[in-house]
């Protein structure tokens, strides 16, 4: 399988391409070298994507890409967050791709913190290649590389969190190799932090059965802890790779791909690919779902949190005009996930629901059932015409959920926070 994957084979990179499906929004670790700007067209690096898609949109996008690009051998998920901080979206996307395109090589790139419980799932989907970013096997060094770790319902910091990460990565590699899955280790080289330790990572991972290592020089990324740290020179990286290759074969052609990269390695996405990506992300009515719902107190503004809405306004088209058709009662609180499944059924003819806020779990359940949740602000009449016209909502209308105005844990893109979540 090495010879067909462009990220694992120097020969394959000149013959085949890959497509990354950006469905993993959230991340469970804050690396001190990472700033996840998901809407940045001018940066080519991990953690960057023009948009984020849900699983159904990702499949639609993949269909369009495969009609435009004829040498795609690999379909992968590499962010812009971590696939297993978004396990539902990740697994569902891979299921859809595997069902429709069983001939494609499937792969994942992850930090490994949340992977272990899903190894059997990905093995069943014939995912053949997994990349794990492993920067250290020393928790003391890990405490310098990572700001926090979210594992389960807890947030860890320092050596405690770094130790948990190492334990989880170790478990993952063992499980992956027990299924015969090819494992690549990505190691970001930070001068003065882990540059003298990378050989230890290679030695440790070889003993676990890893197949190849990719040593990646630190990049200068604005608004990160390491933005002023020195970048390793080419000579320093060559010297380091000669040491590490004693333990693991080294990947030498990494281009540090975006989370929405398409085509051959090292070639930026074309205007046409970016257009397909944005079109796939647009929410628009269909024959099966011709209406849009809105959480509103008076029917004019989007000013209700979904969890507090006793009813939702339903809008549709009559005589080519967008009108309020009716108000529908939502299920009463207190039944947990059942409430959101019932709501999805009640509004099964709506393509989207506009809200001023929504919890992560309700949003997940609704979107799994085909009802897109859009967090917006302002007049309903400002947002709804874009949806009925099949156009992208302007950013000025979008509301970032959970903004705390203090930087103390907002999990929206670009916020470094504390990892403790929004209040």
Burial of 245 (0-12, 13-18, 19+ CB in 10 A): middle
Residues 73 and 216 in one domain: yes
pTM above 0.85, yes or no: no
C-alpha closest to that of 231 among 192, 274, 184: 192
Confidence at residue 277, expressed as pLDDT on a 0 to 100 scale: 77
Within 8 A by CB and 6+ apart from 124, the residues are none
SS3 label, residue 131: strand
Instruction: Give the per-residue pLDDT at 74.
Output: 87
Q: What is the CATH number of the domain that holds 193?
A: 3.20.20.70
**Boundaries of domain holding 35:** 2-281
Asked, for residue 20, whether it belongs to a domain, the answer is: yes
Residue 324 domain flag: yes
Does residue 216 lie within any of the structural domains? yes
Residue 319, domain CATH: 3.30.420.130
Domain membership flag for residue 377: yes
Residue 349 lies in a domain: yes
Is 419 a member of any domain?
A: no
Instruction: Note whether 268 and 322 are same-domain residues.
Output: no
Residues 164 and 250 in one domain: yes
Q: Are residues 66 and 178 in the same domain?
A: yes
217 three-state secondary structure: strand
pLDDT computed for residue 420 by the predictor: 45
* Whether residues 44 and 189 fall in one domain: yes
Last residue of a domain, one of 281, 311, 329: 281
Greatest C-alpha distance within the chain:
72
Last residue of a domain, one of 281, 307, 340: 281
Same domain, 303 and 376: yes
Q: Do residues 259 and 296 both lie within one domain?
A: no
229 & 140 share domain: yes
Residues 147 and 265 in one domain: yes
Final residue in a domain of this structure, among 281, 304, 322: 281
* Number of folded domains that form the chain: 2
Give the number of residues written for the chain. 423
pLDDT at position 21, please?
92
Please tell me the predicted confidence (pLDDT) of residue 171: 96
Task: Identify the pLDDT of residue 51.
Answer: 79
Closest CA to 191 of 231, 222, 223: 231
pLDDT digits (tens, 9 = 90+) for 181-236: 999 999 999 999 998 999 999 999 999 999 999 998 888 777 788 888 888 898 99
Residue 422 inside a domain? The answer is no
Q: With b meaning 16 or more CB within 10 Å and e meaning fewer, what string describes 189-209?
A: bbbebbbebbbbbbebbbebe
Phi, psi torsion values for 390, nearest 5 degrees: 70, 35
Which residues, other chains included, contact 367 with Cβ-Cβ below 8 Å and sequence gap of 6+? 54, 373
Contact residues for 355 (Cβ-Cβ < 8 A; gap 6+): 294, 295, 302, 304, 305, 306, 309, 373, 374, 375, 376
- Same domain as 338, residue 269: no
Establish if 213 belongs to a structural domain. yes
What are the respective helix, strand and coil percentages of the chain, to the nearest 5?
Answer: 35, 20, 45
Residue 90 belongs to what H/E stretch? Answer: helix 87-100
Q: Low-confidence residues of the chain, pLDDT below 70?
A: 1-16, 36-49, 253-256, 263-271, 399-423
In this prediction, residue 415 carries a pLDDT of 47
Asked whether residue 208 falls in the same domain as residue 323, the answer is no
Same domain, 117 and 43: yes
């Amino acid at each position: 399988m090495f010879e067909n994957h462009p990220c694992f084979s120097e020969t394959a990179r000149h013959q085949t391409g890959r497509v990354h499906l950006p469905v993993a929004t959230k991340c469970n670790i804050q690396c001190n070298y990472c700033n996840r700007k998901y809407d940045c067209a001018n940066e080519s690096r991990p953690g960057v994507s023009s948009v984020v898609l849900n699983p159904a949109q990702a499949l639609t996008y993949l269909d369009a890409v495969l009609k435009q690009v004829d040498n795609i051998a690999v379909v992968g998920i590499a962010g812009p967050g971590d696939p297993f901080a978004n396990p539902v979206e990740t697994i569902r996307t891979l299921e859809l791709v595997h069902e429709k395109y069983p001939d494609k090589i499937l792969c994942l790139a992850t930090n490994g913190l949340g992977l272990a419980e899903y190894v059997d799932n990905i093995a069943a989907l014939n995912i053949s290649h997994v990349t794990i970013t492993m920067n250290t096997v020393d928790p003391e060094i890990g405490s310098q590389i990572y700001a926090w770790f979210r594992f389960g319902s807890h947030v860890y910091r320092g050596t405690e969190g770094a130790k948990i990460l190492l334990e989880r990565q170790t478990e993952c590699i063992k499980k992956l190799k027990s299924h015969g899955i090819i494992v690549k280790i990505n190691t970001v080289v930070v001068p003065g932090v882990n540059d003298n330790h990378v050989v230890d990572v290679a030695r440790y991972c070889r003993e676990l059965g890893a197949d190849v290592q990719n040593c990646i020089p630190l990049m200068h990324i604005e608004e990160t802890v390491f933005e002023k740290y020195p970048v390793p020179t080419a000579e320093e990286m060559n010297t380091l790779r000669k040491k590490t290759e004693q333990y693991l074969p080294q990947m030498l052609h990494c281009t540090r791909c975006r989370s929405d990269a398409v085509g051959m390695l090292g070639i930026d996405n074309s205007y046409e690919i970016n257009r397909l990506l944005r079109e796939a992300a647009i929410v628009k009515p269909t024959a099966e779902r011709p209406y849009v719902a809105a959480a509103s107190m008076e029917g004019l503004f989007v000013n209700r949190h979904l969890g507090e809405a006793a009813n939702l306004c339903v809008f549709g088209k009559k005589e080519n005009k967008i009108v309020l058709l009716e108000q529908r009662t939502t299920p009463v609180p207190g039944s947990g996930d059942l409430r959101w499944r019932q709501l999805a059924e009640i509004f099964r003819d709506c393509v989207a629901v506009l809200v001023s806020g929504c919890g992560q779990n309700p949003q997940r359940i609704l979107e799994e059932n085909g009802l897109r949740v859009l967090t917006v602000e302002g007049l309903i009449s400002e947002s709804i015409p874009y949806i009925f016209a099949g156009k992208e909502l302007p950013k000025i209308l979008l509301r970032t959920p959970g903004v705390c105005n203090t930087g103390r844990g907002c999990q929206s893109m670009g916020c470094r926070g504390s990892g403790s979540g929004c209040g």
